[in-house]
């Protein structure tokens, strides 16, 4: 499909390739800069959390910086929470889900309020 | 060499692997038939698995199975409350649902059973042999010596077919998925149907998770569903949203997974991890090949890009180009007859006609044309057309299909300031202008700041359409 002379498919494939390269970079950084070791199941679900980070930021690059730092802080804090308070670290995923849903709902209500204001 | 017992083992493993996938995929199919994509199905399987473990460890496997169904339904109800109740993005909400389930199950499991990793041993559901049939060579053990959930899953296939294609409720569900606006016009409570289908789908996914724990593994582990929920979503696509298709796709995936047991039994000298890849590789290839270009039921599925696809397809099909007032257009007729009127100093074509497309999030900015313009609804959702006549009279019209309770055509008189916005996902209209349209006769309200301020103050609805 070509509309407005933009090669849609070529751009989509290109974006996927670049996206995969970024994910590969993340994996390489994890091995060469963090764990200094390669073992099965190296990533404790970073890829999946990455989707949540991108969704929360609505695909805005600067927003991703903010949401990645937020989720990074949450997950780092979760380890400390488990050590000091005995709360299972995985509970942090619930917090992440709640943040995402809260942002979605706030957004919906803002849109509705704006619509009512203009109507 | 492959002998009979190996072939029987292969088929049994195939059906065993396929059972939870089939259950989860049938549930997801129900939701998607109603126009809801629930990416929380992975999470519903997980909570079902943990609920099964908790129920079985305290009150036996049957209680575990029931608890699994209930847990899956409850998680799906949570998803439905947000995604359908508040109309949030289904993909993001579904992802958050699975994320929440990951955290909840992990935390509850560690609280309830500790983190020793010693492994929980649970009472399980043994195979129920159908007398006589279980001894049939080759297919007997695979089809007639399975635990109860396998029979439930196989029975659900014809039952769901009957429900979808032979009952009024099934018709209502499909109508909701295909065209929510028509379903609503026919008196179907759209959102209630979607919520019920999603909750039923969650119950299936919970049962799938419970099956994994109670009929197969006999224990619970964090993240034990390991992406089966996502595979189930792929199976729904491969099976083209049809119960029989979903059954075949689930069996195919089960077969690809069971091959590794066969190869290992046959003494094939290759790393087993290679065979672990096989079913996923197969899914990718099939999704790209056979399933490439299939359309989900329902063009009006919210937030999955289908509508954007439809609008994009129309832009390509009708060769539309961007219009200065917003949206896309193409002039399809210009009369060779010339007319001269008092409004125009020079002759104009007697009539021009355009196709005009507005997609969700866009609008036709307030403008005026020095000729009468007749709007005719063609396709898509209704739009709201408003104008202020030169005498200052304010008009608002819902332009759309008669079934939507809208008017199919409306005329904006020459010189009136007009604007419009789509009320749904996209609207295609045909606009006839007589005497014919010329951009010299066209003006945007925002370019005349003093008049703009006056009109917006008088008609605030224009504020968002400049």
Question: Which chain A residue has the Cα nearest residue B91?
Answer: A55
Q: Are B54 and B112 contacting, i.e. CB atoms less than 8 angstroms apart?
A: yes
CB contact under 8 A, A93 and B313: no
Residue B301 pLDDT exceeds 70: no
Instruction: Specify the length of chain B in residues.
Output: 466
- From chain A, the residues in CB contact with B96 under 8 A are 52, 55, 96-97, 100-101, 104
* B307-351 pLDDT per residue, tens: 566 787 888 888 888 888 888 888 899 998 888 877 777 888 999
pLDDT at B290 over 80: no
Q: List chain B residues with CB under 8 Å of A87.
A: 107
- State residue B210's pLDDT score: 95
Tokens of A59: 């695909």
Is a pLDDT exceeding 50 seen at residue B304? Answer: no
What radius of gyration do chain A's Cα atoms show?
19
Least confidently predicted of A14-18, B258-262, B281-285, B365-369? B258-262
> What confidence tier does B18 reach under pLDDT thresholds 50, 70, 90?
very high
Structure tokens at B188: 């179907």
Contact check, Cβ <8 Å, B107/A52: no
> What is the pLDDT at residue B115?
63
Q: Confirm if A82 and B111 have CB atoms less than 8 A apart.
A: no
B112 touches chain A (CB under 8 A): no
Residues B94 and B229: their CA atoms lie apart, in Å, by 12
Cβ-based neighbours of B44, under 8 Å, separated by 6 or more? B24, B27, B38, B71, B72, B75, B76, B97, B101, B201, B202, B205, B206, B209, B229
**Do the chains contact at A92 and B104, CB–CB below 8 Å?**
no
Residues of A in contact with B87 (CB under 8 A): 108
| CB spacing of A95 vs B103 below 8 angstroms | yes
B30 neighbors B203 (Cβ within 8 angstroms): no
**Token pair belonging to B403:** 């079934």
Tell me the pLDDT band of B408, cut-offs 50, 70 and 90: very high
Determine the angle formed by the axes of helices B4-33 and B228-238, rounding to 10 degrees.
80
Average pLDDT over residues B40-55: 95
Specify the DSSP class assigned to residue A45: S
What pLDDT, in 10s, does the model give residues B57-97?
888 889 999 999 999 999 999 999 999 998 888 988 999 99
Give the one of A2, A3, A93 whose C-beta lies nearest to B100's C-beta: A93
d(CA B174, CA B171): 5
Task: State whether A105 and B100 contact (CB < 8 Å).
Answer: no
State which of B173-187, B311-325, B367-381 shows the largest mean pLDDT: B367-381
Q: From chain B, pick out residues whose CB is under 8 angstroms from the CB of A92.
A: 103
* Distance from C-alpha of A50 to C-alpha of B221, rounded to nearest angstrom: 23
Q: In this structure, what is the dihedral angle of CA atoms B9, B210, B228, B18, given to the nearest 10 degrees?
A: 30
Contact B92 A55 (CB under 8 A): yes
Task: Say if B339 is an interface residue toward chain A (CB within 8 Å).
Answer: no
Name every chain A residue with its beta carbon within 8 A of the beta carbon of B322. 4
- Helix or strand (DSSP H, E) at A74: helix A61-85
Tell which residue, B217, B184, B193, has the closest CA to residue B19.
Answer: B217
Contacts of B111 in chain A (CB under 8 A): 88
Of B106, B111, B461, nearest to A119 by CB-CB distance is B461
Amino acid B243: pLDDT: 96
Which residues of chain A neighbour B99 with C-beta distances below 8 Å?
48-49, 52, 93-94, 96-97, 100
Judge whether B91 is closer than 8 Å to chain A, CB to CB. yes
Query: Above 90 in pLDDT, residue A49?
Result: no
Express each pLDDT in B99-141 by its tens digit.
999 999 999 988 888 765 556 778 778 888 888 777 777 777 7
Looking at beta carbons, which residues of chain B come within 8 Å of A90? 102-103, 106-107, 110, 222
d(CA B63, CA B15): 24
In A, minimum Cα distance to B115 occurs at: A88
CA B308/CA B460 separation, integer angstroms: 29
Q: Indicate the residue of B91, B99, B316 with minimum beta-carbon distance to A96.
A: B99
Residues of chain B contacting A55 with CB distance shorter than 8 Å? 89, 91-92, 95-96
- Structural tokens at position B50: 């943990």
**Does the pLDDT of residue B295 top 70, yes or no?**
no
Three-class HEC string of chain B: CCCHHHHHHHHHHHHHHHHHHHHHHHHHHHHHHCCCCCCCHHHHHHHHHHHHHHHHHHHCHHHHHHHHHHHHHHHHHHHHHHHHHCCCCHHHHHHHHHHHHHHHHHHHHHHHHCCCCCCCCCCCCCCEECCCHHHCCCCHHHHHEECHHHHHHHHHHHHHHHHHHHCHHHHHHHHHHHCHHHHHHCCCCHHHHHHHHHHHHHHHHHHHHHHHHHHHHCCCCCCCCCCHHHHHHHHHHHCCCCHHHHHHHHHHHHHHHHHHHHHHHCCCCCCHHHHHHHHHHHHHHHHHCCCCCCCCCCCCCCCCCHHHHHHHHHHHHCCCEECCCCCEEEEEEECCCEECCCCCCCCEECCEEEEEEEECCCCEEEEEECCEEEEEEEEECCEEEEEECCCCCEEEEEECCHHHCCECEEEECCCCEEEEEECCCEEEEEEEEECCCCHHHEEEHHHCHHHHHHHHHHCHHHHHCC
What is d(CA B300, CA B175) in angstroms, rounded to the nearest whole number? 11
Structure tokens at B450: 């003093």
Is B225 an interface residue toward A (CB < 8 Å)?
no
Q: Look up tokens 């989720």; give the residue.
A: A71
pLDDT tens figures, A69-104 = 999 999 888 888 888 887 788 888 898 899 889 988
- What's the pLDDT at B288? 79
- Cα separation of B333 and B379, whole Å? 19
Q: What six digits make up the tokens of B349? A: 């074509």
> Are B86 and A92 inside 8 Å of each other by CB?
no
Phi–psi pair at A49, nearest 5 degrees: -60, -35
How close B331 comes to chain A (CA, Å)?
17
**Joined tokens for residue A33:** 């800069």
Collapse the DSSP code of A6 into the 3-class scheme (helix H, G, I; strand E, B; otherwise coil) and give the result: strand
Overall average pLDDT of the B224-237 stretch:
91
Tell me the average pLDDT of chain B. 86
Residue B46: other Cβ atoms inside 10 A: 34
**Integer Cα distance of A66 and A57 in angstroms:** 8
C-alpha–C-alpha distance, residues B251 and B259, integer Å: 12
Provide the chain A residues 10-69 that lie in CB contact (below 8 A) with chain B: 45, 48-49, 51-52, 55
Distance from CA of A118 to the nearest CA of B (A): 5
Cα–Cα dist B206/B236, whole Å: 17
Mean pLDDT over B283-299 rounds to 66
């Amino acid at each position: 499909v070509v509309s407005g002379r933009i090669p849609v498919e070529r751009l989509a494939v290109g974006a996927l390739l670049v996206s995969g390269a970024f994910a590969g970079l993340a994996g390489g950084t994890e091995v060469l800069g963090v764990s200094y070791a390669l073992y099965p199941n190296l990533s404790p679900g970073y890829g999946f959390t990455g989707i949540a980070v991108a969704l929360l930021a609505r695909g805005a690059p600067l927003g991703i910086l903010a949401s990645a730092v937020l989720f990074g802080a949450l997950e780092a804090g979760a380890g400390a929470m488990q050590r000091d308070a005995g709360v299972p670290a995985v509970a942090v995923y619930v917090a992440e889900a709640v943040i995402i849903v809260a942002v979605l709902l706030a957004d919906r209500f803002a849109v509705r309020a704006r619509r009512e204001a203009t109507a | 060499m492959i002998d009979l017992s190996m072939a029987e083992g292969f088929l049994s493993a195939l059906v065993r692997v396929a059972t939870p996938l089939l259950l989860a995929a049938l549930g997801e199919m129900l939701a998607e038939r109603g126009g809801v994509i629930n990416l929380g199905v992975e999470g519903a399987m997980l909570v079902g698995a943990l609920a099964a473990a908790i129920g079985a460890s305290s009150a036996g496997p049957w209680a575990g199975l029931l608890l699994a169904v209930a847990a899956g339904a409850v998680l799906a109800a949570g998803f439905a409350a947000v995604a359908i109740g508040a109309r949030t993005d289904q993909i993001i909400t579904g992802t958050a649902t699975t994320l929440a389930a990951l955290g909840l199950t992990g935390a509850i499991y560690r609280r309830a059973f500790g983190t020793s990793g010693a492994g929980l041993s649970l009472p399980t559901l043994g195979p129920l042999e159908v007398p006589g049939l279980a001894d049939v060579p080759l297919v007997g053990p695979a089809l007639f010596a399975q635990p109860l959930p396998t029979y439930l899953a196989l029975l659900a296939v014809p039952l769901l077919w009957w429900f979808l294609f032979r009952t009024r409720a099934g018709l209502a569900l499909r109508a909701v998925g295909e065209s929510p606006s028509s379903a609503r016009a026919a008196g179907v409570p759209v959102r209630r149907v979607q919520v019920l289908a999603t909750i039923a789908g969650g119950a299936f996914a919970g049962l799938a998770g419970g099956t994994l724990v109670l009929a197969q593994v006999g224990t619970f582990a964090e993240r034990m569903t390991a992406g089966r929920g996502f595979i189930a979503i792929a199976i729904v696509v491969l099976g083209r949203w049809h119960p029989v298709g979903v059954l075949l796709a689930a069996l195919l995936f089960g077969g690809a997974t069971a091959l590794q047991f066969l190869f290992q039994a046959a003494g094939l000298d290759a790393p087993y991890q290679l065979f672990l890849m096989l079913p996923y590789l197969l899914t990718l290839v099939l999704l790209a090949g056979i399933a490439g270009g299939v359309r989900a039921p329902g063009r009006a599925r919210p937030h999955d890009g289908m509508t954007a696809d439809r609008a994009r397809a129309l832009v390509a099909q009708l060769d539309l180009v961007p219009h200065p007032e917003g949206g896309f257009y193409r002039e399809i007729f210009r009369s060779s007859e010339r007319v001269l009127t008092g409004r125009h100093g020079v002759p104009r074509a007697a009539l021009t006609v355009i196709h005009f497309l507005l997609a969700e999030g866009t609008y036709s900015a307030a403008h005026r044309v020095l000729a009468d313009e007749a709007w005719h609804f063609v396709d898509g959702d209704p739009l709201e057309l408003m104008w202020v006549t030169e005498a200052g009279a304010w008009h608002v019209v819902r332009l759309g299909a008669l079934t939507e309770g809208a008017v199919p055509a409306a005329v904006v008189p020459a010189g009136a300031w007009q604007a419009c916005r789509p009320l749904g996902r996209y609207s295609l209209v045909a606009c006839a202008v007589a005497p014919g349209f010329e951009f010299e006769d066209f003006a945007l309200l925002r370019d005349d700041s003093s008049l703009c301020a006056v009109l917006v103050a008088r008609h605030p609805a224009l504020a968002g359409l400049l």
